[in-house]
Amino acid sequence: MRTSPNVIITGTPGVGKTVHCEQLAQETGLRHLSINQVAKDRGCYDQFDQELQSWIVDEDKLLDAIEDEVVQGGCLIDWHACDLFPKSWIDLVIVLRCPSTSILYDRLSARGYNEAKLQENLDAEIFGMLLEEAREAYDEEIVVDLTSEKDDDVESNCARIVAWIEAWKNSQTKNID
């Protein structure tokens, strides 16, 4: 049984997953598992999508690569998809949202995304695709959407998530006792 929870931090590229995970890792001691980095480091990329200028991950290879680490608990799983992770691995799913398309546009164009990639990501955010994916894949009581537009949002979101992690740990300790 895990003594520290696994939390998915998901959302459209540019919503602030990395910023939140880095701060949460510092505040909670949970490990920031950047799936982009893991896929790169452990050779889980399959093929390159020319139009979107991005690599496509081999999901089976990826799950094999992270399973041993994740089943121990204490991971902040940072990725722009979530429904591939088995339900039994996951305790909380945070979907970050950036309702202001102009803010998200600026963040993504600063990364040099091409027009097709930019538009695909803006559409995904406008239609709330990641939130829908999370709600379909996990029980509704563990899926929480939080706004990430301003610096203050990062502070308040992290405070909420830290409080939730503490509460989860306390309830696990009671269960073990």
Report the residue from 8, 15, 44, 146 that binds ligand DAT according to the rule CB under 6 A: 15
Helices 151-176 and 17-28 pack at an angle, to 10 degrees, of 50
Cβ burial of 78 (10 Å; 0-12, 13-18, 19+) is: buried
| Interface of this chain with ligand DAT, residues 126 to 165, rule: CB under 6 A | 148-151, 153-154
DSSP letters spanning 21-70: HHHHHHHH--EEEEHHHHHHHTT-EEEEETTTTEEEE-HHHHHHHHHHHH
Residue (25 or 169) nearer to ligand DAT, CB: 25
Task: Kindly indicate which of the ranges 8-16, 48-56, 58-66, 85-93 contains the residues binding ligand DAT, using the contact rule CB under 6 A.
Answer: 8-16
Task: Kindly indicate which of the ranges 11-19, 25-33, 52-60, 165-173 contains the residues binding ligand DAT, using the contact rule CB under 6 A.
Answer: 11-19
Q: Is 79 a residue that touches ligand DAT (CB under 6 A)?
A: no
Q: How many helices (H) and strands (E) does the chain have?
A: 7, 7
| Interface of this chain with ligand DAT, residues 97 to 126, rule: CB under 6 A | 107
The tokens of 5 are what? 């929870």
Report the residue from 19, 52, 63, 129 that binds ligand DAT according to the rule CB under 6 A: 19
Q: Is 16 a residue that touches ligand DAT (CB under 6 A)?
A: yes
Report the residue from 2, 18, 69, 145 that binds ligand DAT according to the rule CB under 6 A: 18
Q: Among all chains, which residue has been given the structure tokens 């991950």?
A: 57
Q: Among all chains, which residue has been given the structure tokens 């490990």?
A: 31
Residues that bind ligand DAT (CB under 6 A): 11, 13-19, 107, 148-151, 153-154
